[in-house]
Structures are given as C-alpha cells and as structure tokens.
Structure 1
Amino acid sequence: MKIPAKLDGKLEFVSLKDILCFTIFQKKIMFYTDDHVYHSISSINDYYELTREHGFEMLDRNNVVQVDKITSYDPYQKIVFFGENGSRYCTVSGKSLEFLKNLKIK
C-alpha cells in the first residue's frame, strides 16, 4: 500500500514498507524513511492536486468533487447532488456554475 505525502512541497506516494516511523512535530504528522522525511497531506488543496487528473474538480474552496458522480445541480442554491435520491451534496462557488453549465450530467 502507498500513502500520499509531501517531500519538498511536491506530492508523492510512499510505500508503507519503506516507512520507518510516524511522528508528530509542531502538530503535523511526519514520517521517516531511510532517505527522507515526509509530511502528511492535510489541506483540501493537497487532495485536489492529488485527484484532479482522476476527474475531480474543486467546485468551491471547501469541496473537491468527483465530477462523474454528480447526478444533478441546483444553480440557485449553488449545490451539486450525488446519487439517485440526492442525499449527498456539496456547495458550489458562483464561478464554478459556468463549468457545471457545460457539464453533461447523466
């Protein structure tokens, strides 16, 4: 298994078998291999950078969404919905509405 981490500001995947230990320093999780000290990813921007090439988009500053899972959206409430009954949803920024207008929702 590999886990995402940052090394010198760049995202990488590190194999669990290469990790020597995990530690907390100044409230941040770090882990060590023989050659490097990695920092765990913790921000929504890190997750966006990690997933955008796999069909995810940041539709507002608080949400990274897997676009092909969107089933509908409400431009007035600025919400995208997932699933048949729409029980899961995320908010959308005003500037992302243009992106959604051009999206073909299943």
Structure 2
Amino acid sequence: MKLATVISALSLASAVQACARYKNCHCYDDKGMPDDTATRYACPTTMEQRTELGVTYHECHYYESTVFGPIALNNCRFRRWCRLAGATGGDASCRDKVRG
C-alpha cells in the first residue's frame, strides 16, 4: 500500500513539473503542422513569423521582465487555449524556456 502511495505522489510531482514558462508557443493541427488560425486565437499578445525546416508559420511571443520575475507563456495553459481555439493537434509547441 505504501509503494502505491509513493508512486502516485511521484507521478503527480512529475506532472506538476511538466508545466513551465516559455517566450514562444504555437498550436498544431492533427497532421502535426503548425495551426496559425488556432495560434492567433490562443495568443493573448504578439504574433511573430518563423520558418523551420522549410515551413513558415506564426507563433505567439510573450515575455516581460518585472521586479517580481519574468512573465511568459505557460505551456500547459497555452495547450488548453489551443484546444479552445479549435486546434486539432494533441499538443502545443513552446520554445525559449524562461528561467527564474
């Protein structure tokens, strides 16, 4: 019984740590391609164009340095925003992780 409790606690801790803050994120469609329309609706701030592996798409950019620490996009929250915006992909993609 104790082992099951420890395993549950560890898996919960790893799930909590999976969320982080990033400067840039975008949504995906069900084909694994960036979904510009959903990203536009999910993005609370500035959109920037990016080309990667020959694919040009738009991503959401948000980063602000404050006296209380940096403000950026939360990848778990952005994933939910993508789904609410109609993205059909299973996940969102974020880059430029924010430390601190």
Structure with greater helix share of residues: 2
Query: Which structure carries more relative contact order (alpha carbon 8 Å, separation 6+)?
Result: 2
TM-score (norm 2): 0.23
TM-score (norm: length of structure 1): 0.22
Between Structure 1 and Structure 2, the one with more strand by share is 1
